[in-house]
Amino acid sequence: MTQEEFASHMMENPADFYYGVLWNKFYRRDIIEQHQLRMDEEISWCEDFMFNLEYIRYAKSVYALQAPIYYYVKTKGSLASQGSSISKTIKMKLMVFEYYNNFYKHVFDEEDYEKIRLQVYRFLVDAARDGMVPPAILPGSKKLGDERSSVCTEAIAGEGILMESYRSRKLLERYLETVALKNGLTITDVCLLLYLSQPHQLKSRKELSDFTGIMRHSLSASLQKLTSKGIIKIEEIRATKTRDGQLNISLLPAAEPIISDLATAQNDYDHTRFDGFSEEELIQYAHLNEKIKENILKVLQ
């Protein structure tokens, strides 16, 4: 494989031992010595992966041997058991991600990097999933992975109306997670921004809550957070006895990069759903989906 081909494969699952460890690889000594590549003694998490990222930057080609010739026995052990503090753990993870992000900026040109940027940022999400953080270091502290949306394995494989709805929601959340983490937001925040970025007619908090499925108190907290970050502007008309309070919400310039990320997330969502569809099947699906929509509208309108 070329350097670019290997990097593209690694992007799909960078946490896999196939890419991260040293024990299943042969290296060219001349590359290591020429560029003075060494392990970073300051970190104790993913230091081998960081070494590999530096090495691959100078390797013109990579060959994957198909036959297994080395057997590895994994033993228990983690940053938690090594006694690392939560602040040190987070600092190390962010440093590893910076290495990873810079690697792709080096391998790909600026235009190609922009196309894969969200996929690259998924590594930060995957790193957050790693539970290697000492619990209860601080009052109310959580493992880095606790904020990720969970998935019920039985439900996503099940059949029925509710299962289908659950699958679609969890798939969308999977792609929205990256946008949320990258921009320091929650899934609720980006779901709300996704709605606000579309043409809409809903004006009250009650209507927003009903449409988005976000509880009223969570909706208010999210609106307040997005306002404080300068992402949205809210003009509110006070409620009367005959009418709920009306909202006029506009997106500010700070929302533009997030909206761009959301568009990429939607494309990734659709790409997953329609992967392997022929053009004829896509046209047929769109036609059938429109008929389903018409049938539903006859009842709900």
Tell me if 20 sits within 8 A of 48, measured CB to CB.
yes
Tell me if 15 sits within 8 A of 125, measured CB to CB.
no
Look at the block and give the residue holding tokens 């659709």. 270
pLDDT at 137: 30
What's the rounded Cα separation, in Å, for the pair 198 and 201?
10
pLDDT at 240: 56
pLDDT at 127: 59
pLDDT at 34: 94
Q: Is the dihedral of CA 29, 35, 36, 37 positive or negative?
A: negative
What would the pLDDT profile of 87-132 be if each residue is shown by its tens digit?
666 666 777 777 778 888 888 887 777 777 777 776 666 655 554 4
| Structural domains in the chain plus CATH codes | 3-145 (no CATH), 149-300 (1.10.10.10)
CA proximity to 93, closest of 78, 106, 104, 105: 78
pLDDT at 132: 41
Residues lower than pLDDT 50 in the chain: 78-83, 131-148
pLDDT at 46: 74
